[in-house]
Structure 1
Amino acid sequence: MTRMEDYRLLGRSGLRVSPLSLGTMTFGEAWGWGADRNDSKRIFDAYLDAGGNLVDTANIYTDGESERYLGEFLRGRRDSVVVATKYAATRDPLDPNAGGGGRKSLRGSVEASLKNLGTDYIDLLYLHAWDGMTPSDEVIASLADLVRSGKVLYLGISDTPAWEVARMQTIADIRGWPSFAALQVEYSLIERTTERDLIPMANELGIGVIPWSPLGGGVLTGKYSAADLGAGGSDSPVGTRRDHARASGTLTVRGLEIAEAVVDVARELGVTAAQVALAWTLENPAVASSLIGARTVEQLQQNISALDVTFDASHLETLQAASAVDLGFPHEFLMRPMVRGVTTGHSTVRPRPSRTW
Structure 2
Amino acid sequence: MSFERLNQINDYRQLGNTNLYVSPFCLGTMSFGTDWGWGADRAESYRMFSLYVERGGNFIDTANHYTNGTSETFLGEFIGNLRDRLIVGTHYSVFTQRGDANSSEDRLRKMVQSLETSLRRLRTDYIDIYWIHHWVFGTPIEDVMRVLDQVVRSGKILYVGVSNTPAWKIAQGNAIAQLRGWSPFIGVQVEYNLINRMAERDIIPMANDLQMGFVATSPLAGGILTGKYNQLALARQISVSEMLARIDCTTARASLNQEIGRLNLHNLAISLELMEIARQIDRSPAQVALNWLLQQSDITSTILGARTSQQLEENLGSVEFQLDMTQIADVDAINPTDSGMLYGDTVYSEVQDILLESARVVDLNH
- TM norm structure 2: 0.85
Instruction: Provide Cα deviations, 1:291-342, integer angstroms capped at 9, x if missing partner.
Output: 0022222211211111223122332222222212321379xxxxxxxxxxxx
Higher RCO (CA-CA < 8 Å; seq separation 6+): 2
Q: How does 1:123-272 map onto structure 2 within 5 Å?
A: 123-225=128-230, 226=240, 227-230=242-245, 239-272=251-284
Structure 2 residue ranges without an equivalent (≥5) = 1-5, 231-239, 343-366
1:1-357, aligned counterparts within 5 Å? 1-90=6-95, 92-225=97-230, 226=240, 227-230=242-245, 239-328=251-340
Q: Does structure 2 retain, via aligned residues, the 8 Å contact 1:98–1:108?
A: no
Decide whether aligned partners of structure 1 residues 57 and 233 sit closer, same or farther in structure 2, where only a CA change above 3 A counts. Answer: farther
Measure the CA separation in 2 of the matches of 1:17 and 1:185: 17
Contact 1:100 1:134 in 2 (8 A): no
Q: Give a deviation string over 1:108-149, Cα, whole Å, max 9, x none.
A: 111111111121111111000011212211121111111100
How far off its partner does 1:259 sit?
0.7
Per the alignment, in what secondary structure is the counterpart of residue 229 of structure 1?
Answer: helix
The separation in 2 between residues aligned to 1:228 and 1:24, in whole angstroms, is 30
- TM-aligned CA deviation for residue 100 of structure 1: 2.1
Relative to structure 1, the CA distance from residue 233 to residue 84 in structure 2 (aligned partners, 3 Å threshold; closer, same or farther) is: farther
Question: In structure 2, what is the Cα distance between the partners aligned to 1:144 and 1:232?
Answer: 47
1:32–1:239 contact (8 Å) kept in structure 2: no
SS, match of residue 222 in structure 2:
coil
Distance in 2 separating the partners of 1:29 and 1:193? 32
Deviation at 1:73, TM superposition (A): 0.8
Identity, % of aligned positions:
43
The amino acid of 1:30's aligned partner reads D
Amino acid at match of 2:244: L
Distance 1:146 1:244 in 2: 34
170-179 or 142-151: which moved more? 170-179
Counterpart-to-counterpart distance in 1, 2:88 and 2:127: 6
CA distance in structure 2 between the aligned counterparts of 1:304 and 1:60, rounded to whole angstroms: 26
- Residue type of the partner of 1:229? L
Deviations 1:220-258 (A, max 9, x none): 000003244239998xxx942111222232221111111
Which secondary structure state, in structure 2, belongs to the residue aligned with residue 276 of structure 1? helix
Cα distance change, pair 132–230 in 1 and its aligned pair in 2 (3 A):
farther
C-alpha distance in structure 1 between counterparts of 2:145 and 2:246, whole Å: 40
Select between 92-101 and 184-193 the one with higher mean Cα deviation. Answer: 92-101
Cα 1:307–1:104 change in 2 (3 A) is same
Question: 1:40 deviation in Å?
Answer: 0.3
Give, in whole Å, the separation in 2 of the partners of 1:163 and 1:232: 38
Residue pair 1:294, 1:300 contacting (<8 A) in 2 also: yes
Q: Distance in 2 between matches of 1:194 and 1:302?
A: 26
- Given that 1:31 and 1:239 are in contact with CA atoms closer than 8 Å, whether structure 2 keeps it comes out as no
Q: Scaled by the length of structure 1, what TM-score is found?
A: 0.87
The CA deviation at 1:94 is 4.8
SS of structure 2 residue aligned to 1:211: strand
Report if the CA contact (8 A) 2:198-2:341 is conserved. Answer: no
1:33–1:240 contact (8 Å) kept in structure 2: yes
**Count of residues in Structure 1 that have an aligned counterpart in Structure 2:** 327
Call closer, same or farther: CA 1:294–1:151 in 2, change over 3 Å: same
